[in-house]
């Protein structure tokens, strides 16, 4: 199995959802690990619990002007890939969200898009809802509005108060969050998902088509008879552990340099390596897909017939 995704859990209080994530991650087949717990309140009870469970904890005293900067460097030191908010009650600045786009998840105690914001259970009761629930979603700039990743329904009982309802919704949250986070992390490591994503980028380049190369999904530029491969999906071939895409480097020197500088991103694929194919690992949660698109375009340029590259140069100059 590929390495587990390194998740940082951010809390402001009790941390029962955090605990649910920690205990779920103890299963041998869980695709994520809780690599760090932190938050905006050094005295949050959840931090002491995480510590007792042997999880790395960092206490950051909240300061409006420095908190998110301190957090950012901490996350980078600990090579965190995904942030899971679990009752983290601060608004996150847009620039931070943009840098972590698609990599911050949150749990909210309602069936979003219904009842965003605070005092959710009071709002559910005041609206006379028969059913409420919990939602896990990606964090976007607008509060409680990012892509929904999963939901669970919870019945509202006659006589429920905000407290009794919160208690039952919390049980549902504890089931939902680990399951959805595992699915979310798993989807980014799933070879079929990776292939679809690479394929969409490869086929967006001019005169490209799909073909298989020794059984591996691959993309070619040019015609069926004279076209050349410029990208090959690599899925743990020849006993290697990586899932990635192979693209054309300029030569052995460049390959050696890149692999030496960033071994967590680049690898030398068995069999293809000697003909200047370099591997870019894609079974990670922090893949920079713009960077992958740039490599595909570069590889396309190296393989495309002159008539196409001329066209492209003309378009670029235009
Ligand atoms: C949970 O119910 C969570 O859904 C909610 O805070 C509680 C935290 O409890 N989050 C929000 O309302 C976010 N807007 P916990 O600290 O025991 O996990």
What is the tens place of the pLDDT at every residue in 160-198? 999 999 999 999 999 999 999 999 998 877 889 899 999
Q: What is the mean pLDDT of residues 289-294?
A: 95
Residue whose Cα lies nearest atom 12 of ligand 1: it is 108
Q: Which residues contact 117 (CB under 8 A, 6 or more apart)?
A: 143, 144
Domain with CATH 3.40.50.170 in the chain: 5-187
**86: CA distance to ligand 1 center in Å?**
6
Q: At 210, phi and psi to the nearest 5?
A: -90, 140
CATH architecture of 191-317: Alpha-Beta Complex (3.90)
Q: Which of 11, 16, 17 to mutate to test the pocket of ligand 1 (most atoms within 8 A of CB)?
A: 17
Fold for domain 5-187?
Answer: Rossmann fold (3.40.50)
Is 108 a catalytic site residue?
yes
Residue whose Cα lies nearest atom 8 of ligand 1: it is 87
pTM score above 0.95 = no
**Tens-digit pLDDT profile for residues 189-213:** 788 989 999 999 999 999 999 999 9
Under 8 Å between Cβ of 176 and 136: yes
Domain with CATH 3.90.1150.30 in the chain: 191-317
Residue whose Cα lies nearest atom 3 of ligand 1: it is 87
Q: Which of 9, 11, 86 to mutate to test the pocket of ligand 1 (most atoms within 8 A of CB)?
A: 86
């Amino acid at each position: 199995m590929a390495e587990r995704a390194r998740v940082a859990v951010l809390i402001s209080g009790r941390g029962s959802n955090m605990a649910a994530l920690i205990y779920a991650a103890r299963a041998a087949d869980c695709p994520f690990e809780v690599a760090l717990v932190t938050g905006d309140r050094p005295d949050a009870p959840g931090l002491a619990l995480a510590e007792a469970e042997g999880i790395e904890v960092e206490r950051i005293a909240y300061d409006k002007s420095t908190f998110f900067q301190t957090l950012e460097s901490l996350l980078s030191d600990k090579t965190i890939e995904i942030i899971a908010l679990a009752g983290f009650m601060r608004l996150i600045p847009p620039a931070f969200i943009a840098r972590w786009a698609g990599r911050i998840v949150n749990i909210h105690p309602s069936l979003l898009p219904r009842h965003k914001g605070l005092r959710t259970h009071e709002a559910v009761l005041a609206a006379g809802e028969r059913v409420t629930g919990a939602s896990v979603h990606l964090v976007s700039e607008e509060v409680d509005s990012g892509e929904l990743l999963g939901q669970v329904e919870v019945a509202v009982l006659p006589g429920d108060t905000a407290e009794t309802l919160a208690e039952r919704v919390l049980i549902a949250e504890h089931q939902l969050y680990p399951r959805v986070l595992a699915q979310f992390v798993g989807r980014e490591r799933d070879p079929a998902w990776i292939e679809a994503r690479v394929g969409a980028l490869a086929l967006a380049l001019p005169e490209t088509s799909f073909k298989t190369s020794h059984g591996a999904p691959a993309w070619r530029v040019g015609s069926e008879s004279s076209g050349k491969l410029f990208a090959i999906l690599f899925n743990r071939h020849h006993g290697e552990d990586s899932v990635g895409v192979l693209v054309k480097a300029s030569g052995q020197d460049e390959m050696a340099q890149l692999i030496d500088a960033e071994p967590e991103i680049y690898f030398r694929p068995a069999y293809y390596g000697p003909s200047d194919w370099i591997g870019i690992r894609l079974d990670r949660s922090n893949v920079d897909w713009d960077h992958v698109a740039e490599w595909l375009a570069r590889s396309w340029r190296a393989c495309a017939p002159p008539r196409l590259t001329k066209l492209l140069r003309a378009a670029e100059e235009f």
